[in-house]
A and B are shown apart, each in its own frame.
Chain A
Amino acid sequence: DGGITQSPKYLFRKEGQNVTLSCEQNLNHDAMYWYRQDPGQGLRLIYYSQIVNDFQKGDIAEGYSVSREKKESFPLTVTSAQKNPTAFYLCASKDGGYGYTFGSGTRLTVV
């Protein structure tokens, strides 16, 4: 079945370490997105990519980096510059219209 795979589901890292979250899709979607969710808040856009080898900053890009070398993959790196990285991270992709598919998310805890 087509869908989005995010891994790992839970991730623990020490403060000051970079960490990369994986997002893979087999839906042949061009557009992919990374969102962050904090308790009691709506999802906020970190980065998005509308085509391979191109990506744009979202509303809260500081402290994060991405790459889009392949259509099916859009990894997110949380760098040591991100001041408060503990959060739930969600990846999504979009078809050519308005249909979105979401992953199951990665919960990152920095200790």
Chain B
Amino acid sequence: QSVLTQPPSASGTPGQRVTISCSGSSSNIGRSYVYWYQQLPGTAPKLLISRNNQRPSGVPDRFSGSKSGTSASLAISGLRSEDEADYYCAAWDDSLSDVIFGGGTKLTVL
């Protein structure tokens, strides 16, 4: 079981807005940046959101990140079929002295 908790699945229809949560604690999200990764089927993960809410160059502004206290969220607006992927949050954990990933959320576009 991951230290960062994500829902195992999420879904939405094209054009909808979907949010994926990542719940942690004071030793990780509460004091560290949160990163989000998108893993399309059969491919390597790709950096989607950096430092809680910053989009790297090339990432559409449909993707946004936020953090409050010991939780973080990834929001995807204007959902598209190509957004169907696994999404992972990541952060440093001071207590474990380790980079930790959430268990991942499988997003299905209905």
Real complex partners, A and B? no
Chain A interface residues toward B at CB < 8 A:
none
